[in-house]
Amino acid sequence: MNLKPFKLERYFAQYEFSVKYLLSSSDCDGLKQNELLALADSEVKQLWDNLTLGYTESLGHPLLREEIAKLYKGITPENSLVVVPEEGIYIALQSILESSDHVICSFPGYQSLYEISEGLGCEVTRWLPEEDNGWKFNPDFLEKNIKPNTKLIIINFPHNPTGSMPSIQDFQQIMNIAKEKNIFVLSDEMYRFLEYKEGDRLPSACELYDNAVSLFGMSKTFGMAGARIGWVVTKNEELYKKMATFKDHTTICSSAPSEILSIIALRAKDKIIADNLNLIESNLGLLDTFFSDYAHLFKWNRPIAGTIGFAKLLKNSSALEFCQKVVTEANIMLLPSTVYDYGDSHFRLGFGQKNMPEALTKLREYLSGR
């Protein structure tokens, strides 16, 4: 398969571990292992203390799969396959698609979602949101663009990079269209449970439709990206078997310590998620003031969920040039929309990190000194 370089990853690689302020990261601040272990109940504490570092069960630790199932309605542990999140995209697409298939994918977005589909030889139609309508993905687009060979609709809500979400009605419409036309759905739900209002949370696609695969994991919502633990969930048994079989060619099984750490975090999910949402909400409040102070420079659609949003540079300036100046002159990393192949006018801001207020103050200083 011929895959183009992952532009966002290549951009991050230049600065992620050298720049002082990361103001575009999509994960919540990394959870400290000591703090996480302090949340362990006695059963998991024992598992941790007696852990051996041999191979693990290929489908995932049974207790982890039990905790995963509890996140969904009508889902059993047998419906979930533990993977690295990025791996989940790869094996789901490999298991669903053939080169003659047509795919519709929300765009801009996480590059693997469309890149791997294209790499498999599929034709991919990009489904763009309406910026002036709160980055709305209009389901009518699907009706107009479905072809006889459309095999898969790929969606990602809460959305990277805009932080937008469809209404429940629009989401139902998307799922109903897929059901009626018998089209698979890959629903990337990596930012789930970070909805600022609980009422905005959507059902998971795998709950609503047997031919849907939902992807979620520990990286963003739980601040555990370094654990490399995620999962794909589907009620479609044939597809499940295909994905599980494919995993023998990727990672075979997951990291033993990471599985146990993930069980602890999922059992303590209410506290971890509440802490992260508190941080996000306070950081977002600072951004509200920032964008109202700089309304002459930037346009901002306030996200509805997640850790990231997509701002537009007014005055026709290049986002790439702006981000490069900010990183070299102020030691702050922002992410230009060029890495999303989405023009050169937007940049991604992240607000899940603890030092975000300081980073924003530095950005203000930089802007006032220009």
**Shorter beta-carbon distance to ligand PLP: residue 156 or 236:** 156
Shortest Å, Cβ 352 to ligand PLP: 12
CA distance 204 to 303: 19
Taken in order 219, 222, 223, 227, is the CA torsion positive or negative?
negative
**Shorter beta-carbon distance to ligand PLP: residue 110 or 240:** 110
Residue 33 CB coordination number (10 Å):
14
**Shorter beta-carbon distance to ligand PLP: residue 110 or 342:** 110
Shortest Å, Cβ 306 to ligand PLP: 9
**Shorter beta-carbon distance to ligand PLP: residue 24 or 290:** 24
Enumerate the β-bridge partners of residue 302: none
Binding site for ligand PLP (CB under 6 A): 26, 84-86, 110, 156, 160, 188, 190, 217, 219, 225
**Shorter beta-carbon distance to ligand PLP: residue 311 or 330:** 311
- H or E stretch including 297? none
Shortest Å, Cβ 91 to ligand PLP: 12
**Shorter beta-carbon distance to ligand PLP: residue 330 or 356:** 356
Shortest Å, Cβ 159 to ligand PLP: 8
**Shorter beta-carbon distance to ligand PLP: residue 160 or 330:** 160
Residue 82 CB coordination number (10 Å):
27
Residue 19 CB coordination number (10 Å):
19
CA distance 277 to 193: 9
- H or E stretch including 245? helix 237-247
CA distance 290 to 302: 12
Shortest Å, Cβ 113 to ligand PLP: 7
SS3 103: strand
Give the Å distances, CA to CA, from 285 to 288, 298, 306. Answer: 5, 16, 14
Shortest Å, Cβ 25 to ligand PLP: 9
CA distance 89 to 246: 12
243 contacts 96 by C-beta, under 8 angstroms: no
CA distance 230 to 228: 7
Shortest Å, Cβ 362 to ligand PLP: 24
Cα first-last separation, the chain: 46
**Shorter beta-carbon distance to ligand PLP: residue 26 or 150:** 26
Shortest Å, Cβ 188 to ligand PLP: 5
